[in-house]
Amino acid sequence: MVEKMKAALLYGVRDVRIEEVPVKEIEPDQALIKIKACGICPTDVRSFTGQRKVSDFPRTLGHEWVGEIVEVGSEFKGFKVGDRVAPEWRAICGQCYYCHRGIFNYCQNLQRNKVSGGFYGYGHAAARYMRLIPDGMSYEEAAFAEPLACCLNGSEESGIRVGDDVVVIGAGPIGLQHVQLAKYQGARVIVSEFIESRRQKAKELGADDVIDPTSENPVERVKELTEGRGANAVIVAIGNSEASKTGIEMAGICGSVNFFAGTYPSADIPLDPNVVHYKQLHLTGSHDFTPHHFTTALKLIQFGIVDVKSIISHVMPLEEIADAFDIVANREGLKVIIRMD
Ligand SMILES: [Zn+2]
Ligand SMILES: [Zn+2]
C-alpha cells in the first residue's frame, strides 16, 4: 500500500512545485502504476508559460506517461504486478455517437476517472486502456506512444502515397516523427526548419532535402525541388499562421495540407478559395489519436520503423521539471523526458 508520492503541481504561470501528495486508492478494476517516465508535451509547456490559459490551480500536468504495475484491484484482469505498461490518457467510452462511428479521438464522454497519471510518482489505469511495453523497449522510448499515435493519425489524414513529395514544416520532436512516418510510407521528404541542428537531425532521420527558410524562400525551393509542381502533401508541424499559409502555398495540384499543430493564440490566415478550388486541395487537420493508433505507435517503435531514441535530447529528474519546461519552451533541445525514479 503506497500512501504518498511526489508530484509536480502547477500553481500559476512559471510556478511549478514538487510536493508530497496522497496516492489515491485504486478502484477494483484499476492497477496502481509506478510511473517511470513521462514525456513533456508542448501542451504542458504552454500551460507552464501561460500561453494556454489554465484556471484550476494547482494543476497536474503530463499525459505521456509509462510505468510498472505495482498493485492490482480485485477485479483487474489482463496484466499483472511487474508488467511494464503504457496507459493511454484518452479513456474512451465506446458508447457515444463518435465512438460508435469509429471516430474514437472525438469520444464525447472520456472516462477521466479511469486513467490518471503524469509528472508524479504513481498513476492509475483500468486494463482496457493499457498496452504492454514490448521487451527491450526503454520507458523513455515507450513514452512516445502518445505523441507518435497523434502523428500517425495525422499521417493517415494526409493520404501519403509511395513516391509522393511530402513537405514537413518544422523539425521539432513532432516534425521528426512525421519525417520518419512519411519516409517509411515511401515518400520523398522535404523539411523546412529554422534551426540548423534540427535540419541536421531531420537529415539523419531520413529527410531527402532540407530548407532553411531564413536564407531561401521555402515555397520557391519546394517548387524547384518538385519540377514546379509543389508537394503532394504538406504537414504543418508548427502552430502559427505564417507556417500554415506557407503550407498552403507549397501544396501542388490535388495536394493535402495538414494543420497538425494547434495555434496559440488563435490566428487568421488569408485564404483565396480559388486556390483550393482550382488546385483541388485537401485542407485537413488532425487531433489526438484512437486506441489503434496507440497500439500501432508502440509497434512502430518496437520494430525500429520510427526511431524515437534519436529524438530524445534530455532525460531529467522530476526535481528539474521547471528547467525541463524551459528547455522545451526555448527550443534548446528536442524531446525532453522526465524520469521518475
Ligand atoms: Zn502529448
Ligand atoms: Zn465515446
Q: How far is the CA of 297 from the centre of ligand 2 (A)?
A: 21
The reported pLDDT for the residue numbered 52 is 86
Query: Mind listing the domains of the chain with CATH numbers?
Result: 4-144+308-339 (3.90.180.10), 151-285 (3.40.50.720)
3-state secondary structure of 241: helix
Q: Which residue has the cell 501542451?
A: 43
Instruction: Give dist(CA 73, CA 229) in Å, integer.
Output: 58
Instruction: Give dist(CA 151, CA 264) in Å, integer.
Output: 19
The string of pLDDT tens digits covering residues 146-195 is 999 999 999 999 999 999 999 999 999 999 999 999 999 999 999 999 99
Of the listed ligands, the closest to the CA of 94 is 2
CB 234 within 8 A of CB 261: no
The reported pLDDT for the residue numbered 96 is 98
Instruction: Give dist(CA 338, CA 316) in Å, integer.
Output: 5
Of the listed ligands, the closest to the CA of 88 is 1
Residue 274, number of CB atoms within 10 A of its CB:
8
Q: How far is the CA of 108 from the centre of ligand 2 (A)?
A: 5
Q: What grid cell was written down for 77?
A: 484482469
Our measurement of the distance from residue 226's CA atom to the centroid of its chain's CA atoms, rounded to an integer in Å, reads 29
Phi–psi pair at 68, nearest 5 degrees: -120, 135
Q: What grid cell was written down for 57?
A: 490551480
Residues of the chain with pLDDT under 50: none
The stretches of the chain forming alpha helices (DSSP H) are: 42-49, 97-100, 139-142, 145-157, 173-184, 196-204, 218-225, 241-250, 273-279, 291-302, 321-329
Residue type, 136: G
Rg (CA), the chain: 20
The reported pLDDT for the residue numbered 265 is 87
Q: How far is the CA of 186 from the centre of ligand 1 (A)?
A: 26
The reported pLDDT for the residue numbered 1 is 73
| pTM recorded for the entire structure | 0.97
CB crowding 116-147: b at 16 or more within 10 Å, else e: bbbbbbbbbbbbbbbbebeeebbbbbbbbbbb
Phi–psi pair at 245, nearest 5 degrees: -65, -45
Burial (CB count within 10 angstroms: exposed 0-12, middle 13-18, buried 19+), residue 198: buried
The reported pLDDT for the residue numbered 73 is 97
Of the listed ligands, the closest to the CA of 91 is 2
Q: What grid cell was written down for 198?
A: 534540427
Of the listed ligands, the closest to the CA of 45 is 1
Q: How far is the CA of 122 from the centre of ligand 2 (A)?
A: 26
Q: How far is the CA of 104 from the centre of ligand 2 (A)?
A: 6
Q: How far is the CA of 286 from the centre of ligand 2 (A)?
A: 18
- Do the bridges between strand 165-169 and strand 231-236 make them parallel or antiparallel, or are there none, so unpaired? parallel
Q: How far is the CA of 42 from the centre of ligand 1 (A)?
A: 7
Q: What grid cell was written down for 76?
A: 483487474
The string of pLDDT tens digits covering residues 37-83 is 999 999 999 999 998 888 889 999 999 999 999 999 999 999 999 99
The reported pLDDT for the residue numbered 2 is 82
Q: How far is the CA of 279 from the centre of ligand 1 (A)?
A: 33
Q: How far is the CA of 305 from the centre of ligand 1 (A)?
A: 20
